[in-house]
Amino acid sequence: MVIHYKCPNCGADMAFDSESGHLSCPSCGHEENIETFPEQNIERKFDEGEAKEYHCENCGAIILTEAETTATHCSFCGAPVVLADRLTGDLAPAKVIPFTVSKDEAVAAFKKWTRGGRLTPRGFTSGDRIKKMTGMYVPFWLYDIEGEAHIQAIGTQVRTYQSGDTIYTETNFYDVFREIDLSYLKVPADASEKMDDVLMDKLEPYDYSELKDFRMPYLAGYLAEKYDFDDEQLFSRVESKIVPYIDAYISTTISGYSSVSYTNKQIDAQKKKVYYTLFPVWMVYYDFDNKEHTFAMNGQTGKVVGKPPISIGKVALWFTGIAASSFVAMKAIAFAVGGVLW
Amino acid sequence: MRNSSWKWVWIPVLVLLLFFGGLSVSAQTGDLIYDEAGLLSSEEVQELEALAEQYGAEQNVDFLFLSTDSTEGQSIEGYMGDFFDDRADSTGHEDAVLLTIDIGGREVYLAGFGTAERTLDAERVDLVLDRIIPEMQSGDYANAFEETVVTSSEYMEYRPGVNPESIFLKTWFHLAIALLLAGIIVGSMLYNAGGRVTTTPGTYVDRDHTRVRSQDDRFRNKTVTRSKIPKNKDGGGFGGGGGMTGGGRSFSGGGRSF
């Protein structure tokens, strides 16, 4: 099934506008609220049978997509289309964070980011080599996690005192028990195989106050993917993400000791709820030194992540600069205090 | 032919040697080295006299060496004080660093008079004594005095009150910190070049439902270990801080047995 959102005003294909949060018509500028979009302007076309071939309703061209794609553009006429049957049933997202960074803002933010790179080669910071910029809704699973932790540990308190010419070191040992209720809300893990997990983790955090119930029109004009891994498959990954958080919390509950060694640490965590959610990400493909570098930008907050090229010369310059100036500074202080330079 | 010409060359050299030898003999009696216990050879006296003169001119003090077989029933401080009062009264030199060795009592005392009371304070005296005690114990008194002169001069360059052996004044320390600092800063710049993780343990926590349900801290046992404070193995120190001579001259100083 292919969906077009037709402008009630002029009949052109409408796309999601990140600034207003509405559907907007590129030809007449008309805007429509997503919640109240008139049903008769949603043009649906069911494809027959099993064949996963979609036809653009505008020009009749075959829409070429990968199997994971749920929203794209017609490669022939450029009209935004949403592939609805890939977004229904089990594949229906529960929530979405709409784009708030428009393409122009994303380009500007990325250029600003490259200029700020202190260790990147000169050509990288000044050049304008953005090859491709794609706004993409990336599938994530958000987990509400509930659990408990049972902790046994031995804490020590050390006291030293002096009597005569003897130093006494007194160590008190305590048995420490803790039972802790744990609850974490909406911990994300990206469900797309294509996306680099480290890159996606660095894009966090998203602002959940703008988390909306999913509606298809949000996808019009962007690329979107469906998940490759279901919530069961990804749970171990999200667990490995929160275990350090849990450990950090546990250590805050045991205070007043000079050392703590855990004898038994039992953490049970189950998922209470999962939300299939689409997060907005700008993917930036950048050519430098005959190599393509990939960057990702949080489509909500504008945070940029990705491995930029590193200039050895600039690294050396920074290193010697910092080392030399701090050496001079320390020498100056030593001279001011001690009155001797060497 | 060749031999006989060399003989002629030797004569002025010999004359020069006699001349300087005679000079330093006169210096020995009047000036800086008072080796009454005979701990130094005459060559050592000459060398040390020259050294003390050179460094003394730089620091504007007299570096004095005094040795004795016996302090005649006095403390080494008293003996030293009397000696310095006499010398200062006759020469008018009030600024001096004086190393006194009582070979009979096997004690050594280092004192700073006049300007040296400030520039070579008790703390610095102690540091110098730390350095020369091994040489005192091995009987190498010439080197002990040389070390005293050189190290004291070095210390006197520093502002009064500053510990000249402080690690914060060492060049290698400055260099190490500078390199370490640069390494940490540039390392973190490299590490964060690809974007930083800005989520914290608090990002996703549900504060309403994350809590300690029950807790218990129970005393189990205690252990006590004892360790003796190590004694200074270089013999006892005494007279730390300084004092006043019989003639009313105040000084900084400290002494050790060796």
Is pLDDT at A321 greater than 90 in this prediction?
A: yes
Q: pLDDT for A292-311, tens place per residue?
A: 888 899 999 989 998 888 88
- Closest Cα to residue A137, out of A106, A103, A168, A98? A98
Walk along chain B (258 residues) and give the pLDDT tens digit of each residue.
444 455 555 555 444 444 444 443 333 344 888 888 888 888 889 889 999 999 999 889 999 999 998 888 888 889 999 999 999 988 888 899 999 999 888 999 999 999 999 999 888 999 999 999 999 899 899 999 999 999 999 999 998 888 888 888 888 999 999 999 999 999 999 988 888 888 888 899 999 999 999 999 999 999 999 988 876 555 566 767 788 888 888 899 888 888
Cβ of A158 under 8 Å from any chain B Cβ? no
- For residues B76 and B82, the answer to whether their CB atoms sit within 8 Å is no
Pairing of strands B62-68, B96-102: parallel
pLDDT at A127: 61
Q: What percent of chain A has pLDDT over 90?
A: 40
Determine the residue of chain B that is closest to A255 in CA distance: B217
pLDDT at B24: 38
Determine the residue of chain B that is closest to A322 in CA distance: B182
> 3-state DSSP: chain B helix, strand, coil percent, rounded to 5?
50, 20, 30
- For residues B94 and B113, the answer to whether their CB atoms sit within 8 Å is yes
pLDDT at B8: 54
Cβ of B7 under 8 Å from any chain A Cβ? no
Cβ of A75 under 8 Å from any chain B Cβ? no
For the CA atoms of A90, A91, A92, A98, the dihedral, rounded to the nearest 10 degrees, stands at 150
Cβ distance B204 to A182 less than 8 Å, yes or no, reads: no
- For residues A296 and B194, the answer to whether their CB atoms sit within 8 Å is no
CB proximity list for A177: less than 8 A, separation 6 or greater: A151, A152, B214, B215, B216, B217, B218
pLDDT at B19: 47
Q: Which residues sit opposite A156 in a β-bridge?
A: A173, A259
pLDDT at A51: 43
Q: Which residues sit opposite A280 in a β-bridge?
A: A137
pLDDT at B23: 40
For the CA atoms of A52, A53, A56, A59, the dihedral, rounded to the nearest 10 degrees, stands at -170
pLDDT at B169: 87
pLDDT at A164: 85
For chain B, the C-alpha Rg in angstroms (whole number) is 30
B13 CB-side CA count, 13 A: 5
Mean pLDDT of A276-299: 88
- 210-239 in A: which are within 8 Å (CB) of B? none
Q: pLDDT for B23-58, tens place per residue?
A: 433 333 448 888 888 888 888 898 899 999 999 998
- Among A114, A180, A196, which would you mutate to test the B interface (most chain B Cβ atoms within 10 Å of its Cβ)? A180
Average per-residue pLDDT in chain A? Answer: 87
Residue A340 CB neighbour total at 10 angstroms:
16
The two three-digit tokens of residue A118, written as one number: 């202190």
Cβ of B157 under 8 Å from any chain A Cβ? yes
- Closest Cα to residue A211, out of A273, A274, A275, A271? A275
- For residues B189 and A319, the answer to whether their CB atoms sit within 8 Å is no
Looking at per-residue confidence, does B100 or A50 come out higher? Answer: B100
Question: Considering the entire predicted model, what is its pTM?
Answer: 0.69
Looking at per-residue confidence, does A338 or B112 come out higher? Answer: B112
- 76-115 in A: which are within 8 Å (CB) of B? none
Q: What percent of chain A has pLDDT over 70?
A: 96
Q: In which residue are the tokens 């005393």 written?
A: B219
Cβ of A152 under 8 Å from any chain B Cβ? no
Looking at per-residue confidence, does A84 or A295 come out higher? Answer: A295
Determine the residue of chain A that is closest to B230 in CA distance: A165
Cβ of B209 under 8 Å from any chain A Cβ? yes
Contacts of A340 in chain B (CB under 8 A): 157-159, 164, 169
pLDDT at B129: 92
- For residues A176 and A152, the answer to whether their CB atoms sit within 8 Å is yes
Cβ distance A171 to B218 less than 8 Å, yes or no, reads: no
Confidence of residue A342 (pLDDT cuts 50, 70, 90): low
Cβ of A270 under 8 Å from any chain B Cβ? no
The CA–CA distances, whole Å, from A111 to A89, A126, A306, B190, B191 equal 40, 9, 14, 19, 21
Q: Omega of the bond prior to A188 within 30 degrees of 0, cis?
A: no
Determine the residue of chain A that is closest to B191 in CA distance: A307
- Among A124, A327, A342, which would you mutate to test the B interface (most chain B Cβ atoms within 10 Å of its Cβ)? A327
- For residues A110 and A116, the answer to whether their CB atoms sit within 8 Å is no
Confidence of residue A60 (pLDDT cuts 50, 70, 90): confident
- 161-180 in B: which are within 8 Å (CB) of A? 162, 164, 166, 168-169, 171, 174-175, 177-179
Is pLDDT at A271 greater than 50 in this prediction?
A: yes
Contacts of B152 in chain A (CB under 8 A): none
Q: Which residues sit opposite A278 in a β-bridge?
A: A96, A139
Contacts of A173 in chain B (CB under 8 A): 219-223
The CA–CA distances, whole Å, from B100 to A161, A340, B26, B85, B201 equal 39, 28, 21, 14, 67
For the CA atoms of A237, A238, A243, A249, the dihedral, rounded to the nearest 10 degrees, stands at 170
Residue from the list B201, B215, B222 with its beta carbon closest to the beta carbon of A177: B215
Is pLDDT at A97 greater than 80 in this prediction?
A: yes
At B108, is the secondary structure helix, strand, or coil? strand
Pairing of strands B107-113, B96-102: antiparallel
- Closest Cα to residue A178, out of A154, A156, A152, A157? A152
Contacts of A180 in chain B (CB under 8 A): 210-213
Pairing of strands B107-113, B250-257: antiparallel
- DSSP annotation of B158 reads S
Q: pLDDT for A248-263, tens place per residue?
A: 999 999 999 999 999 9
